[in-house]
Structure 1
Amino acid sequence: MDEPSNQQRAIELLQQLGLKEYEAKSFVALARRAEGTAKDISETSEVPRTRVYDAIRVLESKGLVETQHSNPQVFRAVSIDEAVSTLQSEYVGRTETLRDALGGLEPSDDGRTTEATHEVWAIEGDQGITSRTEQLIAGATEEVVLVIGHGSIFTDRLAEQLQTAHERGVSVVVGTVDEDLEAEIQRALPEVEVFVSGLEWLRGSPLAGDDTEISRLVLVDREAILVSSFTETAEADRTHEQGVFGRGFDNGLVAIVRRLMATGLPVEDDPEEGGVAG
């Protein structure tokens, strides 16, 4: 990625983390040099000079910029590591405050709840689906069966979560679509049972006009299921992940997928009798 692209990406990310446009541009301009005056920052960032001072005051209050009170004043950005750590702490603080605020909301549905046996929801986007996968694994008490249909799903973070679940006594079984991915996962999780799944329908059937690629199947404690797939987007070489989530042992979606998954496991058991896998 060239420098202009890096610069624009940095500005966009800083704005996503709470900085306004001129603040983000001013910080990036300072990050590119050892130090600079308001004039230097304005010339580098294209922020009007009269607005640079306002932006710097905000950045200074956030601990992102230091000021030398000379004539003219000179500014410098803190180190990249310090800036990232500072923004991360602020972001975490805001999310915790958001958690408290949302948790304190009064319910507006008169206490009505959805019965678990009828709980089926659609989920869009890899971030949301990844987050739900993490929540399911973190909440597992007995068993996690995960079938990975695409190598990009298996990340270091997912491996860490599966290992943590295994260490707290949860039975973890991971299925893959090919031997290469099986070997990669087994190296990362040597104490976890890993196998090549016999679920041929994970790959779809192009000859039959079905090129849908199942990206992940997650079954937790035999009562919660997440199934997702990749679909092509208009943008070249990009895919969009979408899925469905169901909960409840008597849920039809859970029951059907649980039995389908059992056909691809190395040890087949009747889920009604004693679990999905031994």
Structure 2
Amino acid sequence: MLQQLGLKEYEAKSFVALARRRRGTAKDISETSEVPRTRVYDAIRVLESKGLVETQHSNPQVFRAVSIDEAVNTLQSKYAERTESLRSALSGLDPADEGDSTEATHEVWSISGNRGITSRTRQLVEGATEELLLVVGHKSIFTDQLAEQLQSAQERGVNVIIGTVDEELQATVQDALSSVKVFVSELDWLSRSPLPGDDTEISRLLLADREAILVSSFTETGADGREHEQGVFGRGFDNGLVAITRRLMATGLLSVNDPEAEET
């Protein structure tokens, strides 16, 4: 994880060694981390420049890692600076295509992996101005972060409606979002397909302002059987995927939006 945050292998190993020992000489660090002693000094110099290690100029020199909280805060700050620099750099790129860059409203794009799908969900929720209709097909989708985003959307005046696949999940969502309308969806095919041999499970279905749609599902991949989330995304009121989803969602919402339907 330290390497993912920008440290090289020997730097990361040296820091972990010091975090375990609290303090130590280059020899101590080398013995604990298996970093060659001649490379420890280079790694320590880098760690010191990053504010992660302190040095006692004795003979031999003694090093210690800063506290875990301080190290994490330092790395977090550096990470935030880099991501903001990246945002500025990418935003300033000259377009290679001089043609019309307007997004086509009839296109549908695929998204792979929970991280990307969660990010697009957040983008749609935070960008909504009028209405958010979310059907939660799996309990793992409804995280604390998503609950906070939906709550913030409602507080800024967005009409938030949430459907679930069963009453247990409905209760969980309603407890977290007491002022949001939560219902058990009539869309049975979200959790179980009527087609034989089709065990695909719809994980989330999100319609934002009735013109942007995100649908994702879980599939089992790999020998370990771990679930992998795949999604599709479309935008535009006249986008076919958006249009058919609006109608399907309206069918699922009938029992909570139509008083006559409720009476019957």
TM-score range, shorter chain: over 0.9
Deviations 1:125-169 (A, max 9, x none): 100000000000000000000101010001110000000000000
Secondary structure of the corresponding residue to residue 130 of structure 1: helix
Paired amino acid for 1:38: A
Q: Please tell me whether the aligned partners of residues 183 and 256 of structure 2 are also in contact (alpha carbons under 8 angstroms).
A: no
Which residues in structure 2 correspond to 1:54-203 (within 5 Å)? 54-203=42-191
Aligned structure 1 segments of 4 or more residues deviating by more than 4 angstroms: none
**Whole-Å Cα distance in 2 between the matches of residues 206 and 24 of structure 1?**
52
Q: 48-57 vs 199-208, which deviates more?
A: 199-208
Paired amino acid for 2:172: E
Q: Which residue of 1 aligns with 2:256?
A: 267
Q: Which residue of 2 aligns with 1:26?
A: 14
Structure 2: any 5+ residue segments left out of the alignment? 259-264
Deviations 1:236-270 (A, max 9, x none): 2411111100000000000011111111114347x
Secondary structure of the corresponding residue to residue 21 of structure 2: coil
Deviation for aligned residue 1:235: 3.9
Deviations 1:91-144 (A, max 9, x none): 000000000000010001113224442131111110000000000000000000
Q: 165-174 vs 256-265, which deviates more?
A: 256-265
Q: Please tell me whether the aligned partners of residues 116 and 251 of structure 1 are also in contact (alpha carbons under 8 angstroms).
A: no
Aligned residues between the structures: 257
Paired amino acid for 2:27: K
Q: Is residue 14 of structure 1 aligned with residue 15 of structure 2? A: no
Q: Is residue 208 of structure 1 aligned with residue 176 of structure 2? A: no
Q: TM-score, normalised by structure 1?
A: 0.90
**Whole-Å Cα distance in 1 between the matches of residues 99 and 142 of structure 2?**
39
- Rate the CA distance shift 1:209–1:114 in 2: closer, same or farther, 3 A: farther
**Whole-Å Cα distance in 2 between the matches of residues 183 and 161 of structure 1?**
19
Q: Please tell me whether the aligned partners of residues 29 and 41 of structure 1 are also in contact (alpha carbons under 8 angstroms).
A: yes
Q: 235-244 vs 59-68, which deviates more?
A: 235-244
**Whole-Å Cα distance in 2 between the matches of residues 182 and 116 of structure 1?**
36
Paired amino acid for 1:89: S
**Whole-Å Cα distance in 2 between the matches of residues 162 and 205 of structure 1?**
28
- The percentage of counterpart residues that share the same residue type is 79
Q: Please tell me whether the aligned partners of residues 149 and 216 of structure 1 are also in contact (alpha carbons under 8 angstroms).
A: yes
Q: Which residue of 1 aligns with 2:262?
A: none
Q: Please tell me whether the aligned partners of residues 60 and 66 of structure 1 are also in contact (alpha carbons under 8 angstroms).
A: yes
**Whole-Å Cα distance in 1 between the matches of residues 209 and 8 of structure 2?**
45
Structure 1: any 5+ residue segments left out of the alignment? 1-12, 270-278
Paired amino acid for 1:88: Q
Paired amino acid for 1:93: E
**Whole-Å Cα distance in 2 between the matches of residues 186 and 268 of structure 1?**
18
Deviations 1:191-245 (A, max 9, x none): 1111111111101338711100000000000000000001101142411111100
Secondary structure of the corresponding residue to residue 105 of structure 2: helix
**Whole-Å Cα distance in 2 between the matches of residues 103 and 33 of structure 1?**
44
Q: Which residue of 1 aligns with 2:34?
A: 46
Secondary structure of the corresponding residue to residue 16 of structure 1: coil
CA RMSD of aligned residues (A): 1.3
Q: TM-score, normalised by structure 2?
A: 0.94
**Whole-Å Cα distance in 2 between the matches of residues 206 and 112 of structure 1?**
43
Residue from 203, 206, 218 that aligns with 1:230: 218
Residue from 242, 245, 254 that aligns with 1:254: 242
